[in-house]
Amino acid sequence: MDYQLLFAVFAGIALLLLLILRFKLQAFLALLIVCITVGVLSGMQPQAILDSITKGVGGTLGFVATVVGLGSLFGAVLEHSGGAQQLANVLLSKFGIKRAPWSIMLAGFFIAIPVFFDVAFIILIPLIYALQRDTKKSLLLYALPLLAGLAVTHAFIPPTPGPIAVADILQANLGWVIVFGFVTGIPAAAVAGPFFARYIASKIHIDAPFESQVEAETPKQLPSASGILAIIFLPIALIVFNTVLTSPLAADWSIPDGVIYTAQLLGHPFTALILANLIAWYVLGIRRKVSKETLLDISTKALYPAGVIILLTGAGGAFKQILIDTGAGTMIAESLTSDYFPPVVFGFLVAAVVRIMQGSSTVAMITAAGITAPLLEGTAYSEMQLAILVIAIAAGASVFSHVNDSGFWLVKQYLGLTEKQTFKTWSVLTSLIALVGLAVSTLLWFLV
């Protein structure tokens, strides 16, 4: 084993945590500094280090920047239309008040596909307050299922930025990531949401805060829930359809070339999301008398937070490339060839450690993907296995949200919890998502 390379990798990870935790440096800049540091400690020449960073950033951003940008535009139009509130209202009316935790979980699960976690939570929290006031039960009974649905989708199901970035770094097929994201996400959301909420709500009673003026305002005319669901699932259906049609599963189906061509064109994430954006722009905007100027303003503002995610992902791609070019990835891979230590467990553990240490699930996903990707060089893992590995890393990056995570404070503030209560509820919820995610992804790894 080359101890110089091993030292370079561990020194790089330690430096990354130091820069983010101690010096509060922006993760994008910290990752680039770590890339240079690992390259120098590994003995790479200066030009080789910079070429590796350029290759890693450029190779990653070509895909991720487009998908994250299109996803952000899509989510912004949906948010402005009031579609999230309408979907939650309809699900509640269909399920009834007794099954409200399940309907709220489903609402969070679907809405977080196009809308960022924190935005979706803030949009729907007034509905949670109203439910608590009507039923007089603990606010946690309804809030935790919502949070579970949002958190699972945010971590597991594209086009949210985390799984998009990890899938690109690992060269995983996005269609299979979506399929296994649903397979893993639904049981994870159920365990961490309604089941856990029922238990903890009997232990901790929380009342909703007094009704605010914003909540009391008459809501605007909302779009139909069926239309919202159709628009959300259009790109997902197209991507999955393309994946199945062009996979070995369909090799003996005698599909006409024209159908394959159409599926490949419309089922690519770029085209699928462009179509979803155009339909949302018309159905949720123009047809509802929203001015073109307003739609342009909404779309422009949506790209600001996307820029941070895109740059961070690019830096993660550079980190992956440095590990490949130094040979550190190959060395780690050769030391982890035991059948008792599959890549899903390795990826989960790396993501979990980084998540607990520095808080950001996105940074944890990207760091873990960068470290795990070199292990795949020269292997013959299937498209399905690579997709499952993405889910395992996402699960690890979800574990034990605590005081260094902005989500911890968001939940504490809006639910009116103490720090201790937030640990007992939100931190446990995220850990349940991670453990169920690990269990399901490990099982799937050996099954496929």
pLDDT, tens digit (0-9, with 9 covering 90-100), for 306-342: 787 788 778 878 887 887 788 776 666 555 544 556 8
Rounded-to-integer distance, Cα 319 and Cα 43, Å: 16
User: Rounded CA gap, 424 and 428, in Å?
Assistant: 6
DSSP 285: T
Rg (CA), the chain: 22
Residue 116 to residue 65: CA distance in whole angstroms: 16
Each residue of 346-386: pLDDT tens digit?
899 988 988 887 677 887 898 888 888 877 877 788 999 99
Residue range(s) defining the domain that contains residue 151: 3-447
Is residue 275 within 8 A of residue 205, CB to CB? The reply is: no
- Report whether pLDDT(443) > 90: yes
Write out the two tokens for 319: 């980190």
Residue 251, helix vs strand vs coil? coil
How many domains, in total, are found in the chain? 1
In tens, the pLDDT along 130-159 reads 888 888 999 999 999 999 999 999 999 988
